[in-house]
Structures are given as C-alpha cells and as structure tokens.
Amino acid sequence: MAKKTVRDLEVRGKTVLVRVDFNVPMEEGKITDDNRIRQAIPTIETLLEKEGKVVLFSHLGRVKEEADKEGKSLAPVAEKLSEHLNKPVKFVPHTRGEELESAIASMQVGDILMFENTRFEDVDGKKESKNDKELGKYWASLGDVFVNDAFGTAHRNHASNVGIATHMDEVAAGLLLEKEIKFIGGAVDNPERPFVAILGGLKVSDKIGVIEHLLKKADTVLIGGGMSYTFMKAQGLEVGTSVVEDDKLDLAKRLLEKAEGKLFLPVDFRVAKEFKNDAESRIADFDDIKSDEMGLDIGPKTLEKYSDILQNATTVVWNGPVGVFEFSNFAKGTEGILEVLTSLKDTTTILGGGDSAAAAISMGYEDKVTHISTGGGASLEYLEGKSLPGIECVDEIK
C-alpha cells in the first residue's frame, strides 16, 4: 500500500511536528553545503500553504558527551533556513522544557519554530539514539500531527522518528521522503527495464548486501572504485598497491560466481605510484598494473564499455564513485559516468547518496539527474531491500 504524505493531511490550525534531516557539514560555525536544508523546503512550504504551525527538529553530528555539543547547535541552520524561506524561523535552544513548550503554545498559523539538536539528548543515556520511550512520548505531546521527512535517518529506530510516531494518531511522509520511496524503493522493487546498477566506493564489505540484492534485481551491475581491486585480486590479477580487502577475496569469488555474467569489472585504470593529485600517472589495462602502482580511477576503455551498456538502460541506480573524485586528475571516470547519465533519453537516473551524491553536486550535475538521495547509510540499506523503521512508521493510505 502507498504511504500517507503531507498532501493527504488536514493541518489547518494544527501544530505539525516535522523530523527533517539538517545534518549539514559545518566549519567554524558556517554551513558549507546547504543541500539538505533546501531539499526540505517543499514540505515546509506545503504545510504553510495548508495553514499549519510547523515545528522542525533534526540531529547534527554525533554527540556522546557534553563536550561534543560544541559547534553542533542548530542555530545556524535555523538562520540559513530563514534566509531561504524569506521568513522568520524561531529557534529554541532546548530539546525539552518550559521554554520550548511555551514557544510552541504561542505559535500562530504560518509560524515556523526549530528546536535544538535531538542528539543532545544522547549525552545522558543515549535517549534519542536508543529510542527512549518517555522522550518519544514527550516530543509527541508537543504537536498534533507528525511528518517524517528525514530519509537520512530512516534506517534508524530513534526517538525522533519511530518514538514519536508510536504516540501519534496521524503520521505522514514529507515530500522528500516520498521521493526517496518512489525512486530508490521503486527502482529496487519494481524497476523499468533494462535496470543497470553502478556500484563504486572503497570496500566490497561496505556493500555486500547491496551487491547480493542487486544481482537478483538488476539486469547488469557495473563495478568501479576501490572495490574493483578486491574482485581483481580474487581472480589472481596483479593490483599492485591498490586498496584491497584481503579478508574478502573468497567473498569476491563467490559474488563473481553468483553473478553469472551480469557483473562487469573495469578493463583499464589510471594508475600512479603515489596517492596524491599531482602524482605521475598512466593508463594500464586490467592485467598490466605494476607491483608498485595503485589504481585511482577507471580508464577510457572502461568508460566507453560502461557507456555502451548504459545507452540501453531505462533505470540506472548509482552508489559510489568509480575513482578518487576528490583529486581532479583522477575524477575523469566519475565525471564521465555523470556525463553519460545526463545524456540518456527517457531514462530514470538515481544517485544513492553519500560520495556519489557529493560528486554530482560538486561537479555541477545536481539538476541533471532524476534524483539524488539525501541518505548515505539509509540509501545503502534501502538498496539492500531492507525495511527502514523511519518509513515503516509512516501510516498507510487506507
């Protein structure tokens, strides 16, 4: 059944609690990437149009002890959101208590309030992260309706998502969460074919479940990034000083056998003797990497081969860059894949969060693909076919 969304809610005059994902990168109190803030705006604006009172809350970073609170306040986030909305956002620097309760009680229709980092509750017994029953019940008591729009924590059973939902009569998905369900969930559960998955990143171990699940679901799986070298070494090939998980060689062999020809590895690489951007490099075929060289990007033959496969795709899901994209001299493979994806006609292109999303945004492709996920770990678990607590707690449409 379909999940209830903010479109299905009647919130006029009601206080709507909205769990957003404002876990944005910050340096010296300044937000360096406000993508997650911007992604939440459609949900907020919809609730305002429906004449609700909007109470926002999020985590920011990890907080285990009092000292960890330094630099983790959501105050700068409230300020940035206010700039985007061109509307005041009242910030309450507490996660509970009389000041917060009074501020919410005094809200008028169209008002927006944000309260402090939910992870501040983890200082005393991990109440947020361990879904403390009383904390979830307390937060639920502050509003009339709950909207979960935080896909980035949808794989977590926390007080600020599942805990609140347990004590609310009406729980809906925000528009961002709805997009994640539609694109990532839809791609895995019922993809339009041919369905091609591209998996990159550093380690096979990080994506064992994803690889196994997508081998069942996808028509073709293209491998890139650091995990390539574990697969290659498992076949007896020389990979030099490339990153390899030696304890996963047997697993890599089994995955190759299980793939039955639908898993493709790079056929050439850009290699260097040093891990730095200005290192002298060359293009080496898969069987020509020297013992003192490391692979840092896919090569042009691989890009051409993968491009040919992608031309016929109707659905593409990509998780993980195919090279060290942070180094401009070894970003050609990742950017090349992005160029191919954005040139495809009538193809749904989905980037599954994390570094692949960061690469697309930093390279200027943010608006040229169908969907970029805002979740890292959540995207991986969803791609594995797992049920996510933050989605399961949302009401079904009856």
Each residue of 334-382: pLDDT tens digit? 999 999 999 999 999 999 878 888 899 999 998 999 999 988 889 999 9
Per-residue model confidence (pLDDT) at position 354: 80
Residue from 61, 185, 209, 377 carrying the catalytic annotation: 377
Cα separation of 86 and 80, whole Å?
10
Beta strands in 280-324 (DSSP E): 281-285, 294-298, 315-319
Can you tell me the mean pLDDT for 20-42?
Answer: 93
Cα separation of 184 and 180, whole Å?
5
Distances from the Cα of 27 to the Cα of 24, 31, 61, 71, angstroms: 10, 7, 12, 9
In this structure, are residues 175 and 200 in contact, taking their beta carbons and an 8 Å threshold?
no
29 is catalytic: no
Residue from 3, 14, 36, 50 carrying the catalytic annotation: 36
Task: Classify burial at 397, counting beta carbons within 10 Å of its beta carbon; exposed 0-12, middle 13-18, buried 19 or more.
Answer: exposed
Cα separation of 97 and 291, whole Å?
62
Closest by CA position to 273, among listed 288, 246, 295: 295
Phi, psi of 369 (to 5 degrees): -115, 165
Can you tell me the mean pLDDT for 299-312?
Answer: 98
Residue 183 lies in a domain: no
pLDDT band at 154 (very low <50, low <70, confident <90, very high): very high
Residue from 163, 224, 240, 354 carrying the catalytic annotation: 354
pLDDT band at 262 (very low <50, low <70, confident <90, very high): very high
38 is catalytic: no
Percentage above 90 pLDDT, the chain: 91
Per-residue model confidence (pLDDT) at position 88: 98
Domain count, the chain: 2
201 is catalytic: no
Per-residue model confidence (pLDDT) at position 335: 97
Residue from 72, 126, 182, 203 carrying the catalytic annotation: 203
Residue 256 lies in domain: 191-383
Structure tokens at 261: 């020809």
Residue 280 lies in a domain: yes
Residue 339 lies in a domain: yes
Q: What is the DSSP letter of 212?
A: H
In this structure, are residues 397 and 4 in contact, taking their beta carbons and an 8 Å threshold?
yes
Can you tell me the mean pLDDT for 91-111?
Answer: 98
Cα separation of 321 and 323, whole Å?
6
| 91 Cβ contact partners less than 8 Å away, ≥ 6 residues apart | 74, 75, 78, 79, 113, 114, 115
- Which helix (H) or strand (E) element contains residue 342? helix 332-343
- Read off the pLDDT of residues 190-215 as tens digits, 9 standing for 90 and up: 899 999 999 999 889 989 999 999 99
377 is catalytic: yes
- Which helix (H) or strand (E) element contains residue 57? strand 53-57
Query: Is residue 295 located within the same domain as residue 220?
Result: yes
Whether the per-residue pLDDT at 95 is higher than 90: the answer is yes
- Read off the pLDDT of residues 48-87 as tens digits, 9 standing for 90 and up: 999 999 999 999 999 999 999 999 999 999 999 999 999 9
Output the domain CATH number for residue 270.
Answer: 3.40.50.1260
Residue 1 lies in a domain: no
Cα separation of 288 and 284, whole Å?
6
Query: Is residue 163 located within the same domain as residue 198?
Result: no
Query: Is residue 174 located within the same domain as residue 202?
Result: no
- Pairing type for strands 145-148 and 171-173 reads parallel
Structure tokens at 121: 């509750």
pLDDT band at 35 (very low <50, low <70, confident <90, very high): confident
Whether the per-residue pLDDT at 1 is higher than 80: the answer is no
In this structure, are residues 343 and 173 in contact, taking their beta carbons and an 8 Å threshold?
no
Query: Is residue 92 located within the same domain as residue 63?
Result: yes
Per-residue model confidence (pLDDT) at position 188: 84
Query: Is residue 33 located within the same domain as residue 169?
Result: yes
pLDDT band at 28 (very low <50, low <70, confident <90, very high): confident
pLDDT band at 396 (very low <50, low <70, confident <90, very high): very high
pLDDT band at 11 (very low <50, low <70, confident <90, very high): very high
The residue type found at 4 is K
Closest by CA position to 348, among listed 223, 180, 179, 183: 183
Query: Is residue 174 located within the same domain as residue 197?
Result: no
Q: What is the largest CA-CA distance in the chain?
A: 70
Query: Is residue 162 located within the same domain as residue 211?
Result: no
Cα separation of 305 and 237, whole Å?
20
3-state secondary structure of 304: helix
